[in-house]
């Protein structure tokens, strides 16, 4: 890590920069700064940060089909009473202009549709139920 002083719009900032490849001597006017204290090793830094939480699966228990992401419902591809097969698309969610298809995890019949086109859904929200 190197400490640098940068002037931007006549305002002075001091920043710490990680040097990946040292080619400073090739720049005119380059100065050498005293070494800074060593950063904490990566293994210790990882031990102090919380473990990442896994994203919920699209389906969980009792035939519930849950939203795997936060988004907006753009299409509901099934109706109540309709038979569905494993991996059949059920609902289309839009997040950041990307379509995400929520597929069935098993064969079954649609017992209820708990969302409508235009609904904003949160992570893990129930979209529909399979029997």
pLDDT tens track for 17-63: 887 766 555 555 556 656 666 666 665 555 555 655 554 445 455 78
Give dist(CA 112, CA 59) in Å, integer. 14
Angle at 117 between CA 113 and CA 119, to 5 degrees: 90
- 53 assigned to some structural domain: no
Give the pTM: 0.55
Concatenated DSSP letters of 10-71: TEEEEEEE--SS--GGGSTT--PPPPPPPPPPHHHHHHHSPPPPPPPPSEETTTEEE-SSSE
What domain count does the chain have?
Answer: 2
Q: Based on the domain organization, do 9 and 72 belong to the same domain?
A: no
Q: Based on the domain organization, do 64 and 34 belong to the same domain?
A: no
Domain holding 63, by residue range, is 59-130
Q: Based on the domain organization, do 73 and 126 belong to the same domain?
A: yes
- pLDDT averaged over the chain? 81
pLDDT tens track for 51-85: 555 544 454 557 899 999 999 999 999 999 999 99
Give residue 9's region: left, alpha or beta (phi > 0; psi -120 to 50): left
Q: Based on the domain organization, do 18 and 42 belong to the same domain?
A: yes
- 54 assigned to some structural domain: no
| Band of residue 10 on the pLDDT scale cut at 50, 70, 90 | confident
Q: The domain that contains 115 carries what CATH number?
A: 2.40.50.100
Q: Based on the domain organization, do 92 and 73 belong to the same domain?
A: yes
């Amino acid at each position: 890590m190197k400490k640098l002083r940068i002037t931007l719009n006549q305002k002075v900032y001091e920043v710490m920069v990680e040097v990946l490849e040292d080619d400073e001597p090739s720049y005119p006017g380059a100065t050498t700064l005293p070494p800074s204290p060593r950063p904490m090793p990566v293994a210790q830094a990882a031990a102090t940060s919380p473990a990442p939480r896994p994203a919920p699966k699209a389906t969980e228990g009792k035939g519930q089909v849950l939203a795997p992401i936060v988004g907006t419902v753009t299409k509901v591809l099934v109706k109540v009473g309709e038979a569905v097969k494993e991996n059949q698309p059920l609902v289309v969610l839009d997040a950041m202009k990307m379509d995400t298809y929520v597929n069935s995890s098993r064969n079954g019949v649609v017992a209820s549709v708990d969302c409508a086109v235009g609904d904003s859904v949160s992570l893990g929200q129930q979209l529909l139920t399979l029997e």
